[in-house]
Structure 1
Amino acid sequence: MRVVSVVSTKGGVGKTTVAANLGGLLADAGLRVLLLDLDSQPTLSGYYALKQKTDAGAYEFIALNLTTLAEIVSKTVIHGLDLILSNDDQGRLSTLLLHAPDGRLRLRNLLDNFRLHYDLLLIDTQGARSVLLEMAILASDLALSPIPPEMLAARELQRGTLKLLSELEPFRLLGITPPPLRLLLNQVNAIRVDTRMIIRGLRETFAGATNISILETVVPDRVAYLNAASLGIPAHRIKTRQPRERHSPSTLEIMQTLAIELFPEWREAISTVNRYTETQ
């Protein structure tokens, strides 16, 4: 089972949208995908309608070490896409983990119970520095950080997410290697005059980095993602073809390209996701 955390210490960068749509695409590709919502503002938990909802969720999973799938895993209406709901609106988990001996390693130690049941675990995290965010990163094989090409987002990346990762380096002494970080240019508005300059600056900054890289895939700022969230479906089902006068890739093509870049081992399955017709 691959474990990917979608992370940023800045809110509003599109973490939940990326997690929901990436999970939906991979489920449509025939993979078994589990979403884990660790955000106290449970946007991911409400993205897809549920056909089977459990009473327990992320709180019981993390705080009580409850790993029985039937008790904590809800089923979405998307075949193959399951969800552990966020149910810690009072922020009790952060306090608990700060005082627990295994706090930052709690999630890592619980994942063996899921490995035979899922191909991918996607973790949506809080848009702020927290012990929950650190726990999610240390449990992951890969950290994916959406970043809009805006100056404020670029600055927060440096002083927030990158600083956090550097402070997790001492865990190497315990044999735990912090995951590589992949930066995803997200919500890209090509009309803005400073967009290309910021993108170029980001690519130059991380050109020689060993554990950090910027993905080639760029996710544009499109209404299709908002419409998909309103309808509760993956964005690639909204639009699979582009009008003849437009030359940019469709939402389906963008999400496929992103998924293949992140998970080349699943290229064949991802490439088969083409059966949904244009709905608007």
Structure 2
Amino acid sequence: MQVVSLISTKGGVGKTTTAANLGGFVADAGLRVLLLDLDVQPTLSSYFALNHQAPIGTYELLAMNEQNLGRLISHTSVHRLDLILSNDPLGQLGTLLLHAPDGRLRLRNLLPTFQPYYDLLLIDTQGARSVLLEMAMLASDLVLSPVTPEILAARELRRGTLQLLDDLAPYRHLGIQPPPMRLLINRVHPISIDALLIHQALRQAFGQSNSVQVLDTTIPAIDAYPRAATRRLPVHQVEPRKPSRRLAPAALETMRALASELFPAWQERFATVNRRAMGGHRHGE
């Protein structure tokens, strides 16, 4: 089971949208995907319609070490895409885990519960520095950090998000390596010079880094993403073809490129999503 956390210490960069659409695409490729919503503002928990809503969620998982999947797992309307709901609106988990001896390692220790049943676990986190965010990173094989093409967002990336990797370095003494980080440039306008300059600057800044890399794939600023959220569908099902006279590729192609770059071992599966997306699009219409 691959574990990927979506993180940023800056809110509003598109973590939830990325988690939902990446999870939906990978599930359409025939893989078993679990979404874990660790945000106290549970946007991911309400992104998709649910065919089955579990009676409990992240609070019981992390506060009580609940491992009964029948009580934890909600099933979304997307086949093979499951969800553990966020149900900690008062933010009590942060305080509890902060004072627990195993707080930052609790999720890592619970992963064997899910490994037999899922190929991919995607963790959505709050857009602020917290013990929950550190816990998610220490449980992950890979960290994906969306950054919008704005100079302030790029500065916050270096000041906040990248500092997290340095702060987790002491866990190497326990045999736990901080996960590598991939930077995803999100909401790129095709004619934006600033976006191009920031993309180039980030590549130059991390060109020699083994732990931080800028992805080749970028997410364009197109209306397919809010339309997909409104319809509670993965974006590749809403826009399988590129509209005429638009420079940006179809959402299907963007999600395929992103998934292939993150998970190259599954590229052959991702190539099959085209016909499934077309079928789902016709059905949705």
1:69 matched residue in structure 2: 69
In 2: Cα distance, 1:140 partner to 1:216 partner:
21
The aligned counterpart of 2:234 is: 234
Q: Deviations over 1:259-278 (max 9, x none)?
A: 00000010011110012335
CA deviations over 1:215-260 (Å, ceiling 9, x no partner): 0001111110000000000000111112343453211000000000
User: What CA deviation, in whole Å up to 9, does each residue of 1:167-212 have, x standing for no partner?
Assistant: 0000000000010000001111233332211111111111011110
SS of aligned partner of 1:42: coil
Asked whether 1:218 is paired with 2:182, we answer: no
Which residue pairs with 2:124 in the alignment? 124
Higher mean C-alpha deviation, range 237-246 or range 252-261: 237-246
Match for 1:15: what amino acid?
A: K
Structure 1's unaligned 5+ residue stretches are none
Provide the rounded CA distance (Å) in 2 between the counterparts of 1:92 and 1:244.
49
* More helix, by proportion: 2
CA distance in 2, matches of 1:67, 1:183: 32
The range that moved more, 34-43 or 189-198, is 189-198
| Secondary structure of residue in 2 paired with 1:187 | strand
2:64 is equivalent to residue 58 of structure 1: no
For residues 96 and 59 of structure 2, the distance between their equivalents in structure 1, rounded to whole angstroms, comes to 10
5+ residue gaps in structure 2?
none
Mapped partners of 1:17, 1:195: distance in 2: 20
Residue 67 of structure 1, CA deviation: 1.2
Q: TM-score, normalised by structure 2?
A: 0.96
Structure 1 residues 150 and 6, CA gap change in structure 2 (3 angstroms): same
Amino acid at match of 2:46: G
Match of 1:44 in 2: 44
Q: Answer yes or no: is the 8 Å Cα contact 2:190–2:247 preserved in 1.
A: no
Residue number in structure 2 paired with 1:81: 81
Equivalents in 2 of 1:193, 1:179: separation in Å? 32
The residue that corresponds to 2:202 in the other structure is 202
SS of the equivalent of 1:274 reads helix
Q: Equivalents in 2 of 1:29, 1:64: separation in Å? A: 34
Q: What's the CA shift string for 1:119-158, capped at 9, x where partnerless?
A: 0000000100000000000000000000111011100000
Which aligned pairs between 1:186-201 and structure 2 lie closer than 5 A? 186-201=186-201
Q: Is 1:181 aligned to 2:181, yes or no?
A: yes
| Paired residue secondary structure (2:207) | coil
Tell me the residue number matched to 2:25.
25
- Structure 2 Cα separation of the partners of residues 186 and 247 of structure 1: 16
Question: In structure 1, what is the equivalent of residue 271 of structure 2?
Answer: 271
Q: Distance in 2 between matches of 1:208 and 1:266?
A: 27
Count of aligned residue pairs for this structure pair: 280
The residue that corresponds to 2:112 in the other structure is 112
Amino acid across the alignment from 2:49: A
Correspondence for 1:157: 157
Segments ≥4 residues shifted beyond 4 Å: none
SS in 1 for 2:273: coil
After TM superposition, list the pairs within 5 Å mapping 1:246-265 onto structure 2.
246-265=246-265
Provide the C-alpha distance between the structure 1 equivalents of 2:197 and 2:245, rounded to a whole number of angstroms: 27
Q: Secondary structure of the equivalent of 1:105?
A: helix
Deviations 1:77-98 (A, max 9, x none): 1000000000000000000001
Counterpart CA distance in 1 for 2:248 and 2:89 is 40
Q: Residue 13 in 1 paired to residue 13 in 2?
A: yes
Name the structure 1 match of 2:144: 144
Q: TM-score, normalised by structure 1?
A: 0.98
